[in-house]
Structure 1
Amino acid sequence: MEKVVSEAEELPKAIVRRVVKEKLSECSPDYDFNVHKDALLAFSESARIFIHYLSATANNICKESKRQTMNAEDVFKALEEIEFSEFVKPLGASLAEFKKKNAGKKVDQSRKMRRKRRENRGFICRKRNQNQAKETG
């Protein structure tokens, strides 16, 4: 019996293709691989199933800790529980790098938001002053 997957659950085909081709080119840099449509579908479906399995396991770990919000530590523990512990260290390193890279973006975004708020307050004050001038003038 074939299970139909909703579009919302499908992984983007272009991203799956790019990830597969990048990995294959890392393994054999001198060879240009072509990947058949059926193989891409198999990769995509396998990744989707893995994500569901990992997220369900991480969710159980989160619930056992009597929390409602899943965190990265839950995912790391889930990887160990489903016997993919070799992914924990590289994933932790990737997560740390991602946080480090995006820390600067958060600071910049906060500055932009503060600047916008100041500009909006200034605009509101100018409008208020203009309205008061019209009323008195």
Structure 2
Amino acid sequence: MAEKIEDLNLPNAVITRIIKDALPDGVNVSKEARAAISRAASVFVLYATSCANNFALKGKRKTLNGTDVIAAVQEMEFEQFMDQLKDSWEAFKKEQKDKKDAAEKRKKTKEGEKAEGSSTGQPSQDEVNTSTEAAGNTDSMEQGEDKEDEQEM
């Protein structure tokens, strides 16, 4: 656990970027205001985490999940953010599923190409590269032997 509350602050670069994105162009925010927003955000995250942890403990789990966070936000009486939070969570889950599906598809395609190459009797690209390298090495060895033969004569 952190020794000082300052150790729990969010990174200033992240806070600055969020503030810039939230405000119209041309609005300046003082260093003091950024520090206050940073502290407030840190306290909010800590409180939300604590509330979500209570829901996980009630469920006899050690790992927080999305439903714990949503229940915590609701318990903290931030219902006005519930729709946006749920939409963001659904988008996140969909993105993760799409990434997983794409990775599985790439893996199956790769396995299919390997199986196809070996079933047709044609060497795979790796086998071609290896045999080409080996052939190159034999040529140089043969040339070396020819030179030795010439020197003996």
TM-score normalised by length of structure 1: 0.69
Secondary structure, counterpart of 1:35 in structure 2 = coil
Counterparts of 1:35 and 1:110, CA distance in 2 = 46
Q: How many residues align?
A: 115
Q: Distance in 1 between matches of 2:5 and 2:54?
A: 26
1:67-115, Cα deviation, whole Å (9 max, x unpaired): 2221111111111111112212110101111222332222333455675
Cα RMSD, aligned residues only = 2.8
**Counterparts of 2:22 and 2:16, CA distance in 1:** 10
| Alpha-carbon distance in 2 for matches of 1:62, 1:52 | 15
- The yes-or-no answer on 1:49 pairing with 2:43 is yes
Partner AA of 1:102 in structure 2: Q
| Counterpart for residue 106 of structure 1 | 100
TM-score normalised to the size of structure 2?
0.62
Query: 1:111, 1:12 → 2: CA distance?
Result: 37
63, 75, 84: which one aligns with 1:81:
75
Whichever of the two has the greater Rg, that structure is 2
| Alignment map for 1:57-72 (pairs within 5 Å) | 57-72=51-66
Give distance in 2, aligned partners of 1:10 and 1:51: 10
Q: Which ranges of structure 1 fall in alignment gaps of 5 or more residues? A: 26-30, 124-137
Structure scoring higher RCO (CA < 8 A, sep ≥ 6) equals: 1
